[in-house]
Structure 1
Amino acid sequence: MTAVEAVEKLQAGDVTPLELIDASEQRIRETEGAVNALPIQCFDRARDHAKSLKKKARHSDDGPSLHGLPIAIKDLTPVEGVRFTLGSPIFADQIAAHSDIMVKRLEERGGIVVAKANTPEFGAGAQTFNEVLGTTTNPFDVSKTPGGSSGGSAAALAAGQVWLAQGSDLGGSLRIPASFTGVVGLRPSPGRVAHGPSTLPFGVGSVEGPMGRTVADVALMLDMMVGEHIADPISLPRPDYSYLDKVKAPRKFGKVAYSPNLGQCPIDGEVAVICAKAAEAFKDYATAVEEDCFDLSDGDNIFQTLRAAQFAAAHAPKLKENRSLLKPDVIWNIEAGLALTANDIGLAQRQQGALYAAVAEFFGTYDLLIAPTVMVPPFNHEIRSLSEVEGVKFDNYVAWLAMTYLLTNTSCPVISVPCGMTRSGLPVGLQIMAPAHREDLVLQAAALFEADHEYSKLVPIDPVLK
């Protein structure tokens, strides 16, 4: 069942939360040895939560609810009473003393947390491995990576372990694993999903968001996540409509822009062909599809500078106290941030301001921007990061994520939806971006494409050994 179908059955009383928890536990038992997606499980806590839900009277006017649907939470986010490692040896045995407000909101709205999803250390990088919980693999081919940093969430969905999973996204951590595992991942606008308390509450780079096997499932989860909260100073009010209702009422779009490489990224030849074909399909949903994009030539400096500054702000004390326990990539990122000057950060902020002005003008002409999600298809999980694509060499471990992080710089909502399969049977995703705060538009566009294609029906999948 999709998440939407499961919630309908829960609401009707055709199944119970405890039955779905049992089903999730059984599926995890069957598949976890192959994928290592949900290494931290909390089924006793989940069953206690389900029993407490049963005691509450549920009425149709109670507001939106998941009615006891099992979900997974990424291991960068605390869930009270559950192991909370952040993928780091520093916190290998930590138990969360409280839940993030996002988790509390999901649980208040009927979500039942059954497990924590694997992530790289502090979410650094788009390949999901760490020294505490090991490597997560891709259900489509367990020799391949599911991407990251929300790789555990994506692999769990693709393997059918849970119906919905939460992730986070700075450089592409919701979108890349969605692309690599044939599921859907939405990076919302900053503030759309309240979270915290946070040591950096005013940051707009990293966001929390929903992942699911279908666009409607993602819309359903977003409905359960949104709304302002006093603990998150940039959080946005809940919209006066349901995202799931919007997905069920598709619309025709005006002009849509397609960029095959965002003006500067190398793209694997097979990915390029698959995404170009997907872009052609948008002629059925829009008045026109034109090849165009705003200028992203400053994008690398914007992202690398502001990301390094964020890493230094968040993790510099860990470098001083636990350097020997940090992976080299994290050390490099923190030190890059500490080496920045005020002029470096000021330049990046001015460049980002100019970029946003260009984006606002761009969306005066186009309703959407579509582009490939990732430069390449999934690769071997033993490769920590790509050093080269199509002959273009990279000088750092995140450069191969440029197709996603260049759009992060805009603070606009972006979704990745499955759009094709390689000859070797690996998923490829397409990004769809809309103006700031218009998650409804990217969901509607993704739903239109999904309805005309069969890719969402390829998951869940039994893990494949090749």
Structure 2
Amino acid sequence: MSAFLDWDAAVLVAALREGRLTAEAVMAATLDRITARNEAVNAIVDVRDPSALIAEARAADAVPYDARGALHGLPMAIKALAHVKGTRNTEGSPLYADRISEGDSVFVAQLRAAGAIFIGKTNVPEFGLGSHSYNPVHGVTVNPYDSRRTAGGSSGGAGAALALGMVALADGSDMMGSLRNPAGWNNVYGFRPSWGVVPREPGAESFWQQLSTIGPMARSPRDCALLLSVMAQDHPAVPFNMPEQDWDIGDQGDMSGARIGWLKDWGGAMPMEAGIVTLCEAGLAEMAALGAEVSELPAPFDAEEMFESWSVLRAFALAGELAPLYLDTRKRDRLKPAAQWEIQRGLDLSALALHRATKTRSAWFARAAALFEEYDVLALPVAQVFPFHADWDWPREIAGVAMDSYHRWMQVMVPASLLGLPAISLPVGFDPRGLPMGIQLIGAKGQDRRVLEIAQAYHVATQWPQRRPPVASDG
């Protein structure tokens, strides 16, 4: 009876807008599915009162057809770092356990105006720090393909909810890899758009901090494009908006003439757990069979210089946002150790250290620009390890190489994040244990549509998200 919840979001929304499905029926089925499946993974938190949600769905059904928005009647759960008016926004921190949002975040207001109905939040690590979604307020989100493992993060709740069909679209945010990592580990798609495509919050620091961005997650690239068409709206109070793009990439996508540069393990500088490169190369072989030209490339830039630049700029940005909590001695001890470490590093930075970091960033941007004259996209694994045990905080070593920070094991995300490039995580299958993995395709800044077109052609041929988790057979 609820098979429509497994449809592509574009198909589901079309049925809602045209009246072939009612918002009330979709909401009732969604709530039933959450009841049946969410307990196994803890992906959706702070679920709103069902009677209020049904009432909102009935109100949506009364909207005239010609006034229905792009997301009419679609149930959505918003990442627990964003504001939804009248609901709790904890950011996974006990310091905000009782905070009620007084208004919507900008992109949430856009989704609401397009007709989405907000059912709750998706779980995150505290303040979104670390690619493992656990926190002292909501607990841990586990992987729907293996409940002993992590769903990743920081958009881990979103990834698991998509994999289990509890939502058809999800928002994510990505500073280091926070929507690409959980997409890869939950067998779905996550798209980090070019920085500036989705505007930051008005008033937030936006001139220096050009690392983190909101982006879409879905079970197909076409659905990512659908959500992005709502999110990607110019905002006059926010600097560095990107020019508008046409997000209608079509059902089939376009792999024709695609030139892909395969960066593998960055010349050995980024250790990989056994089996990851093999799965990624199988995914690349699928792309080659569809007409892409795949070339293996040597490391194009010094990985350590890049990571140092990234680490400095990240610490600078996080200190700017979180220092007030850290400097309040009554609150400091309630921050997770990773947050305290990042903030103190940021407070200790010198102007010269920031200059060196931005100079490295500029040099890598110039080198990448030269690469994009020869290649449409660059390819890298989406993670350096498979989903690790849920009771870990982070992996301490990969392939015998010690990790020297809580985020070093995600170094493979830095090349795109440091430059604000569009990058999508595509599923490439499973290891012998049944654990999912993904590959990321990275495009030149502003080439978001081309990245999505290539990804959609791959999706049509492979259909990896159709391989449902075992728990998805219930409800």
Quick check: TM above 0.5? yes
Deviates more, 1:124-133 or 1:285-294: 285-294
Alignment of 1:84-99 (within 5 A): 84-99=89-104
1:310 aligns with 2:317: yes
Task: Tell me the distance in 2 between the aligned counterparts of 1:434 and 1:391.
Answer: 31
Deviates more, 1:179-188 or 1:271-280: 271-280
1:259 aligns with 2:263: yes
1:147 aligns with 2:156: no
State the partner residue of 1:37.
43
Indicate which of 398, 402, 414 corresponds to 2:407: 398
1:383 aligns with 2:392: yes
Task: Tell me the distance in 2 between the aligned counterparts of 1:193 and 1:425.
Answer: 34
CA deviation string 1:190-229 (max 9, x = no partner): 1111242353233210000101112222121112211101
Indicate which of 229, 232, 257 corresponds to 2:235: 229
Deviates more, 1:377-386 or 1:263-272: 263-272
Task: Tell me the distance in 2 between the aligned counterparts of 1:307 and 1:214.
Answer: 30
Distance 1:132 1:415, change over 3 A: same
CA deviation string 1:378-422 (max 9, x = no partner): 111101001100011111100001111232112110000101110
Match of 1:152, as an amino acid? Answer: G
Indicate which of 146, 163, 166 corresponds to 1:161: 166
State the partner residue of 1:442.
451
Alignment of 1:110-259 (within 5 A): 110-202=115-207, 203-239=209-245, 241-245=246-250, 248-259=252-263
1:373 positional shift: 0.5
1:64 positional shift: 5.9
1:248 positional shift: 3.6
State the partner residue of 1:368.
377
CA deviation string 1:112-165 (max 9, x = no partner): 111101101110000000011110111101110000000011111111111111
State the partner residue of 1:458.
467
Please give the secondary structure, in 1, of the residue aligned with 2:142. coil
State the partner residue of 1:432.
441
1:323 aligns with 2:323: no
1:7 aligns with 2:16: no
Query: Does the 8 Å CA contact 2:379/2:440 hold for their aligned counterparts?
Result: yes
Please give the secondary structure, in 2, of the residue aligned with 1:106. helix
- Total equivalences in the alignment: 461
Query: Does the 8 Å CA contact 1:139/1:464 hold for their aligned counterparts?
Result: no
The two structures have a TM-score, normalised by structure 1, of 0.95
Query: Does the 8 Å CA contact 2:280/2:381 hold for their aligned counterparts?
Result: yes
Consecutive unaligned residues of structure 2, counting only runs of 5 or more, are 1-6
Task: Tell me the distance in 2 between the aligned counterparts of 1:195 and 1:112.
Answer: 22
Indicate which of 266, 270, 274 corresponds to 1:269: 274
Query: Does the 8 Å CA contact 1:158/1:461 hold for their aligned counterparts?
Result: no
Query: Does the 8 Å CA contact 2:228/2:247 hold for their aligned counterparts?
Result: no
1:20 aligns with 2:26: yes
1:22 positional shift: 1.1
After TM superposition, the runs of 4+ consecutive aligned structure 1 residues lying more than 4 A away are: none
1:18 positional shift: 1.5
Distance 1:254 1:21, change over 3 A: closer
Deviates more, 1:340-349 or 1:193-202: 193-202
CA deviation string 1:304-361 (max 9, x = no partner): 0100001110001100121021011110110111111111111000100011011111
1:454 positional shift: 3.5
Deviates more, 1:264-273 or 1:38-47: 38-47
State the partner residue of 1:76.
81
The two structures have a TM-score, normalised by structure 2, of 0.93
Task: Tell me the distance in 2 between the aligned counterparts of 1:436 and 1:229.
Answer: 19
Match of 1:65, as an amino acid? Answer: A
Match of 1:192, as an amino acid? Answer: V
Deviates more, 1:227-236 or 1:419-428: 227-236
State the partner residue of 1:301.
308
Please give the secondary structure, in 1, of the residue aligned with 2:143. coil
CA deviation string 1:223-268 (max 9, x = no partner): 22111012322333432x23343x5442413421111113320011
1:2 positional shift: 2.0
Please give the secondary structure, in 1, of the residue aligned with 2:43. coil
Task: Tell me the distance in 2 between the aligned counterparts of 1:336 and 1:82.
Answer: 33
Query: Does the 8 Å CA contact 1:189/1:411 hold for their aligned counterparts?
Result: yes
Please give the secondary structure, in 2, of the residue aligned with 1:185. strand
CA RMSD of aligned residues (A): 1.9
Task: Tell me the distance in 1 between the aligned counterparts of 2:440 and 2:118.
Answer: 28
Task: Tell me the distance in 1 between the aligned counterparts of 2:57 and 2:244.
Answer: 26
State the partner residue of 1:413.
422
Task: Tell me the distance in 2 between the aligned counterparts of 1:370 and 1:82.
Answer: 39
Please give the secondary structure, in 2, of the residue aligned with 1:432. strand
